[in-house]
Amino acid sequence: MKNNIRVERAIKNITQADLAEAVSVSRQTINTIESNKYVPSTVLALKIARVFGKPLEEVFILEEGD
């Protein structure tokens, strides 16, 4: 699964730390999600999408083979 968190953060002009605080996780977790090392739970993915005010599918995208 890919994601556009880095792009969305840039649009909204917030740091990893801001996003981490908004969804109550550590900065490391946001970092690993951004670099596709960790797949978040549905709850966390929905929370992140809500921060950006976008539907889930615009932030997280399924890849071939998922």
Partner 1 sequence: MKTHFLFPYWCRYLGWALILLHVPISMFGLAHGMVNIMDNGPTSTGLFTGVHLFFICTSLVMVSGLFLVAFAKEKVEDEQIWHLRLDSLRWAIYINYLILIISLVFIEDVGHMLELNLWVPLLFFIIRFRWVIFRLNSSFSKEEGHEK
The contact set with partner 1 (CB under 8 A) reads 24-29, 31-32, 35, 38, 40-41, 44
Measured from the CB of residue 55, what is the shortest distance to partner 1 in angstroms? 21
3-state class (DSSP) for residue 14 = coil
Secondary structure class of 35 (helix, strand, coil): coil
Of the pair 27, 50, the CB lying nearest partner 1 is at 27
Residue number with CB closer to partner 1 (17 or 61)? 17
> Which residue from 25, 38, 15, 61 is spatially nearest to 6, judged by alpha carbons?
15
DSSP code for 4: -
Residue 4 or 31: the one with the smaller Cβ distance to partner 1 is: 31
